[in-house]
Amino acid sequence: MASISSYLESLRDYLPQEVRSLSTEKQIEWLSELLSHRHRHQREEEQQQKAYEEARRIIAEEYRPLHHHLYRLDGWKVTDGFSEAVRNKDIIKMRAILNEERSGVYTCDILSKETCRELVEEVHHFEKWCKDHQLRVNRPNSMNKYGAILDDFGLQPVLDEFMKAYIQPFSTFLYPVLGQDLDSHHGFVVEYELGKDTNLGFHVDDSEVTLNVCLGDVFTGGHLFFKGVRCDKHVHTAPAAGECFDLEHKVGMGVFHVGRHRHGANDLTSGHRINLIMWCRSSHQRQARSCGNCSCHSPCPEWCGLYSGPQHSQ
Ligand SMILES: O=C(O)CCC(=O)C(=O)O
Ligand SMILES: [Fe+2]
């Protein structure tokens, strides 16, 4: 008991105010509850991870694609302008096919209608297969109850190739800091329909650069909204009026933006919208930004909308 008390003494400054005023016994009770909650949570996470890996194993062994050619890059039809610009990494041609909607957000026609339709069919085929095999479809992230992770059913290699062949050439010159050295991705679709998910809250992506391509369908509303690029330190600050704008989707059209460009999706008012999202990441960028185990001392970087000149980290 004596040693626990001395532990408690050393922890005192880190305990919440309301716990500090409790008796030693109550403090011990509070701490053991906290620890067992933490253990339960950890066990649940481990079990979920195991189940996820097992599901991926079954999918890899048993899932039969609907459109086999989508699993090879040459099976994806991109628009002529896009493929021509990218083929020779011709910056003038790449610039020419891009529309800069507002600072840092670019659009261009990327995927043919046929590839968009086939991707939607493949996702629905996979979801039906999961249902028939009583497997849970993993959702892209905590914000979506619908949609699917494309990397889960065999599209990871082709999406990696897509990132290297098509996204990297654009991001290299569009985003001189964050757009370099993309080396991994999270590829998924988001899906909206009345009665299901209808919008997406304000957030930043876990990516250096994001490509968002509208695959379908027929819908109204659901515009993307943007509210300025921010670093970790400034992510909760108010946007300036000039940083706020909406962007309408069009089937086949892709939107490039940095992951730290705060955004979301407005309410869908009718129909069905499904978009392909590639969160492209750079381990090199992440390492360069990290500050030991935390980001609290990192100075505000130049790409942040609130950058105000060089500062000294302390
Ligand atoms: O609904 C959309 O098109 C945006 C999706 C998005 O921002 C995301 O999944 O990170
Ligand atoms: Fe996003």
Give yes or no for a contact between 98 and 106, defined as CB atoms under 8 angstroms apart: yes
Give yes or no for a contact between 150 and 158, defined as CB atoms under 8 angstroms apart: no
For atom 6 of ligand 1, the residue with the nearest CA is 264
Decide: 212 in ligand 1 pocket, CB within 6 A: yes
CA dist 182 and 200 (Å) reads 25
CA dist 130 and 110 (Å) reads 29
pLDDT of residue 313: 43
CA quadruple 117, 202, 283, 155: dihedral, nearest 10: -20
Q: Where are the alpha helices (DSSP H) in the chain?
A: 2-11, 17-20, 24-62, 80-87, 91-97, 113-132, 156-162, 168-174, 283-289
Give yes or no for a contact between 112 and 83, defined as CB atoms under 8 angstroms apart: no
| Distance, C-alpha 299 to centroid of its chain | 24
Q: Where are the domains of the chain?
A: 1-62, 73-289
Beta bridge partner(s), residue 72: none
Q: How far is the CA of 96 from the centre of ligand 1 (A)?
A: 26
CA dist 162 and 71 (Å) reads 11
Q: How far is the CA of 264 from the centre of ligand 2 (A)?
A: 6
Give yes or no for a contact between 65 and 159, defined as CB atoms under 8 angstroms apart: no
Q: Which of 263, 279, 281 to mutate to test the pocket of ligand 1 (most atoms within 8 A of CB)?
A: 263
pLDDT of residue 14: 86
CA dist 259 and 226 (Å) reads 11
Decide: 207 in ligand 1 pocket, CB within 6 A: no
**Topology of 73-289 in CATH?**
Jelly Rolls (2.60.120)
**Surrounding residues of ion ligand 2, Cβ less than 5 A:** 205
pLDDT of residue 276: 98
CA dist 130 and 303 (Å) reads 42
pLDDT of residue 294: 56
CA dist 251 and 51 (Å) reads 35
Give yes or no for a contact between 203 and 259, defined as CB atoms under 8 angstroms apart: no
12: which 2 tokens? 């005192």
Residue keyed to tokens 């694609």: 65
Listed in sequence order, the residues at least 6 apart from 126 whose beta carbon sits closer than 8 Å to its beta carbon are: 63, 137, 148, 153
Q: Is 241 exposed, middle or buried (0-12, 13-18, 19+ CB in 10 A)?
A: exposed
Position in ligand 1 atom list of the atom nearest CA 249: 3
Listed in sequence order, the residues at least 6 apart from 49 whose beta carbon sits closer than 8 Å to its beta carbon are: none
Q: Is 231 helix (H, G, I), strand (E, B) or coil?
A: coil
pLDDT of residue 4: 75
Q: How far is the CA of 13 from the centre of ligand 2 (A)?
A: 38
Q: Residues in the chain, how many?
A: 314
Pairing of strands 244-247, 184-193: unpaired
Query: What ipTM, to 2 d.p.?
Result: 0.99
For atom 2 of ligand 1, the residue with the nearest CA is 265
Q: Which of 202, 278, 277 is nearest to 235 (CA)?
A: 202
CA dist 38 and 49 (Å) reads 16
pLDDT in tens, the chain (314 residues): 557 778 778 888 888 888 888 888 888 889 889 999 999 999 999 998 998 899 999 999 999 999 999 999 999 999 999 999 998 888 999 999 999 998 899 999 999 999 999 999 999 999 999 999 999 888 888 888 899 999 999 999 999 999 999 999 999 999 999 999 999 999 999 999 999 999 999 999 999 999 999 999 899 999 999 999 999 999 999 999 999 999 999 999 999 999 999 999 999 999 999 999 999 999 999 988 776 555 556 789 999 999 988 765 43
CA dist 214 and 301 (Å) reads 31
CA dist 124 and 314 (Å) reads 51
